[in-house]
Amino acid sequence: MLPIAELDTSTAKQIVGVVFDIDDTVTREGRVERIAFDAMWRLREAGLHLIAATGRPLGLAEVVAQHWPVDVAIGENGAGWIWLDANGHLRRGYFASLSELDHERAVLKRIVARVQNELPSLELARDSHARRCDVAWDIGEQRRENEETIAALLEIIHAEGAKSSVSSVHAHAFITACDKAQGAVRAARDAIGRDISTEMASWLFVGDSGNDAAAFAAFPNSAAVENVRAHLTRIPNPPKFIASADRGRGFAEIVDVLLSRMRVADTVR
């Protein structure tokens, strides 16, 4: 990983949008840091597209889509996305069809029952009531689970034919193979009419943990806040750049460098 200060002007001038994680990327102890929120507004005012991509529930994504300076908000690690259309109406998209979602919920219900029986100390994430496409357990938000318990949870999830991802706060179970990178492609197509899959190098992804791994691999230009170091064992392809600061301060640092390089590029042109 290169220090974010090594982002060059030729790369920066190609960037048209930023896809970013929420938990521990722009938040600290569950709250959005002011410096990070200000950085989002600076990106917006610079004319860049913004896509929030989180493992948090689609219920939260509705709030983000309506009240944050973003074009679209992706929830549940790419399973769905929400945006405001040109008329201000709330729109929704899902990775799976509605009939597939009905089947998936039945499988997830079986997994929850098995986890409750075999790992009774584990607790569902406190935002579970707002989830529509996945199930999440609290492993680092209000309580800290050890690696052995997390491994046992993942073993149950996989044994039931589901897939998993692990962030800094939650461990997720889901059925349809989706992730933040695939979700971003579909969300951008629906919300802003852009095909990210043909312009991956023109987007910057910013994240911090294992459930960002697919996006770190998919986006040629990716960056992480400093606290990603604690999660590198779950990230086969580390981000290209890393900030020297953690969480919201690190996000702001990345934005500072990106915008300063873009200004230099504009001056040269």
Render pLDDT for 198-250 as a digit per residue (tens, 0 to 9). Answer: 999 999 999 999 999 999 999 999 999 999 999 999 999 999 999 999 999 99
Residue 269, pLDDT > 70, answer no
Among residues 243, 203, 241, 238, the alpha carbon closest in space to that of 219 is found at 203
92 Cβ neighbours under 8 A, 6+ residues apart: 58, 80, 81, 82
- Report residue 234 as tokens: 């779950």
Q: How confident is the model at residue 145 (pLDDT cuts 50, 70, 90)?
A: very high
Residue range 2-95+178-268, CATH number: 3.40.50.1000
Q: How confident is the model at residue 98 (pLDDT cuts 50, 70, 90)?
A: confident
Cβ–Cβ under 8 Å, residues 65 and 82: yes
Residue 267, pLDDT > 80, answer no
Integer Cα distance of 94 and 74 in angstroms: 10
Q: Which fold has domain 98-174?
A: Hypothetical Protein Ta0175; Chain: A, domain 2 (3.90.1070)
Domain limits of the chain? 2-95+178-268, 98-174
pTM reported for the whole predicted model: 0.90
171: helix, coil or strand? strand
Element (H, E) at 164: strand 163-166
Which residue type is seen at 227? N
Integer Cα distance of 71 and 38 in angstroms: 16
Burial class (CB within 10 angstroms; exposed 0-12, middle 13-18, buried 19+) of 106: exposed
Query: pLDDT tens for residues 130-142?
Result: 999 999 999 999 9
Q: How confident is the model at residue 265 (pLDDT cuts 50, 70, 90)?
A: low
